[in-house]
C-alpha cells in the first residue's frame, strides 16, 4: 500500500504503545511499517530533499502531535510510551485519531498555538493539504516554485549572444568542479573550433583527464548528425569524454546514438542546463532561506 500520511499513523501508533511498555524509535517504525504492509521500496523512499526517509518523517510528526496532546510521553531520549491520559483516551475513543480529534485537549491547542480554540471544534489544518508534514509542505512549495523558475533562465539563455552562452558554460562547469581555475576554463572553452569541438576543459583541478566541449545555442532539435560530428571530432583527437550542451533539445536518434558509442558523450539539453544553473547558483540568486525545526521532546525527558 502507499505510505500513509502522518494523521493515519496516529491510531496505529497509539495501539502500538497501548501495552504500557517503553518502545524505542526503531522498534516503533518497524512495527508500524508491518502494520501498513509497506514494501522495502516504500520504506526506502526519501523526502524530495533526500535527507530523511518519508515514512520515518511521518512517524516522527505523528508522535510529535500526540505528545503535544499528552497522549504519549518520552521517559528518556528515543523512547516512547503511552501516558495515563492516553490510556483513558484509547479506551473511550475507538475511531481513527487525527488533528481535529486531538483538538479536544487544551494541551494540544497550546501545542498548536491556538489558545482561543474551543474544545471539540475542528482546528483549521495547515495551509494546503493537511495530510502533509511541515517538511512536505515546504518541499512541495519549493518544487512548485522551482518548476516555474526553471523556464526563466532558459528563456534568457536563448536570447543571449553566442559569446554570453560560452561564458555561461565556463561559469557552470567551474561551479560544478570542472576546469581547474576559472582562468583555465576561460582559456579553454570557445577557443578550439577544431572540427566540432568548441573547447577543452580539465575534468578535475589536477588535470588528470580532459573533457571536450560542444556548446550550441540552438533553436531547433539537435539531431543525430550533430552528435556524430562531435563523436568523430573526439576520435580525431583520441578523446574519450565529451559534453554536448545545447539550449534546445535532442532527437531520440541523437540520444540513442550517444548511448551506444564507445566514447562517453553526455548530452545536456536546455531543461537540464536550467536545472544545473539553479543548483549551482548561475544566473539566479537566493531570496530567502528557511530552517525548519521541531521540538525535540526526547531532549527534555529525564535520563535514567
Read off the pLDDT of residues 46-79 as tens digits, 9 standing for 90 and up: 887 777 899 999 999 999 999 999 999 999 888 9
What CATH number is associated with residue 222? 3.40.1350.10
Cβ neighbours of residue 300 closer than 8 Å, sequence gap 6 or more: none
Residues 164 and 98 in one domain: no
Confidence at 304, pLDDT banded by 50, 70, 90: very low
Residues 123 and 60 in one domain: yes
The answer to whether the beta carbons of residues 23 and 29 sit under 8 Å apart is: no
Place of cell 544566473: 283
Q: Which three cell numbers stand for residue 22?
A: 517503553
Higher pLDDT pick, 152 / 267:
267
Is residue 290 included in any domain, yes or no?
A: no
Q: How high is the pLDDT of residue 301?
A: 57
Distances (CA, A) of 81 to 13, 21, 26, 71, 84: 10, 6, 14, 9, 10
Residues 143 and 177 in one domain: no
- Measured over the CA atoms of residue 101, residue 104, residue 107 and residue 111, the dihedral's sign is positive
Is residue 76 included in any domain, yes or no?
A: yes
Please state, rounded to an integer, the average pLDDT across all residues of the chain. Answer: 83
Confidence at 253, pLDDT banded by 50, 70, 90: very high
Report the C-alpha gap between 230 and 161 in whole angstroms.
Answer: 22
CB atoms within 10 A of CB 69: 26
Residues 120 and 203 in one domain: no
Is residue 289 included in any domain, yes or no?
A: no
Is residue 285 included in any domain, yes or no?
A: no
Residues 113 and 202 in one domain: no
Q: What SS3 class is residue 201? A: strand
Confidence at 187, pLDDT banded by 50, 70, 90: low
Is residue 4 included in any domain, yes or no?
A: no
Is residue 304 included in any domain, yes or no?
A: no
Report the C-alpha gap between 91 and 93 in whole angstroms.
Answer: 6
Residues 21 and 130 in one domain: yes
CB atoms within 10 A of CB 51: 9
**Structural domain containing residue 15:** 10-147
> Which burial class, exposed, middle or buried, applies to 203 when counting CB atoms under 10 A from its CB (0-12, 13-18, 19+)?
middle
For residues 109-138, average pLDDT? 61
Residues 271 and 234 in one domain: yes
Output the 3-class SS for 83-142: CHHHHHHHHHCCCCCCHHHHCCCHHHHHHCCCCCCCCCCCCCCCCCCCCCCHHHHHHHHH
Residues 29 and 130 in one domain: yes
Our count of domains for the chain comes to 2
Is residue 295 included in any domain, yes or no?
A: no
Place of cell 510528526: 61
Report for 103-107, 146-150, 195-199: range of highest mean pLDDT: 103-107
> Of 94, 119, 147, which residue sits at a domain end?
147
Amino acid at each position: 500500500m502507499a505510505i500513509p500520511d502522518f494523521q493515519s499513523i496516529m491510531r496505529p501508533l497509539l495501539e502500538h504503545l497501548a501495552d504500557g511498555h517503553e518502545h524505542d524509535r526503531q522498534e516503533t517504525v518497524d512495527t508500524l511499517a508491518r502494520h501498513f504492509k509497506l514494501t522495502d521500496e516504500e520504506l526506502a523512499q526519501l523526502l524530495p530533499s533526500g535527507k530523511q526517509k518519508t515514512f520515518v518523517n511521518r512517524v516522527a510528526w505523528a508522535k510529535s502531535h500526540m505528545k503535544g496532546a499528552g497522549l504519549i510521553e518520552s521517559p528518556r531520549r528515543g523512547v516512547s510510551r503511552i501516558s495515563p491520559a492516553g490510556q483513558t483516551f484509547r479506551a473511550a475513543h475507538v475511531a481513527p485519531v487525527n488533528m481535529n480529534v486531538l483538538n479536544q485537549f487544551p494541551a494540544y491547542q497550546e501545542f498548536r498555538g491556538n489558545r482561543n480554540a474551543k474544545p471539540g471544534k475542528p482546528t483549521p489544518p495547515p495551509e494546503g493539504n493537511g495530510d502533509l508534514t511541515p517538511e512536505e509542505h515546504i518541499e512541495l512549495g519549493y518544487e512548485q516554485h522551482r518548476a516555474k523558475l526553471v523556464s526563466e533562465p532558459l528563456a534568457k539563455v536563448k536570447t543571449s549572444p553566442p559569446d554570453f552562452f560560452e561564458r555561461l558554460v565556463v561559469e557552470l562547469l567551474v561551479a560544478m568542479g570542472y576546469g581547474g581555475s576559472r582562468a583555465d576554463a576561460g582559456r579553454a572553452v570557445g577557443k578550439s573550433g577544431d572540427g566540432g569541438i568548441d573547447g577543452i576543459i580539465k575534468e578535475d583541478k589536477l588535470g588528470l583527464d580532459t573533457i571536450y566541449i560542444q556548446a550550441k545555442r540552438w533553436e531547433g532539435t539537435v539531431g543525430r548528425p550533430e552528435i556524430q560530428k562531435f563523436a568523430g571530432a573526439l576520435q580525431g583527437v583520441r578523446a574519450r569524454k565529451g559534453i554536448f550542451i545545447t539550449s534546445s533539445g535532442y532527437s531520440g536518434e541523437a540520444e540513442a546514438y550517444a548511448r551506444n558509442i564507445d566514447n562517453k558523450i553526455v548530452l545536456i539539453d536546455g531543461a537540464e542546463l536550467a536545472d544545473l544553473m539553479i543548483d549551482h547558483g548561475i544566473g539566479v540568486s537566493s531570496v530567502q532561506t528557511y530552517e525548519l525545526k521541531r521540538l525535540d521532546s526526547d531532549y527534555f525527558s529525564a535520563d535514567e
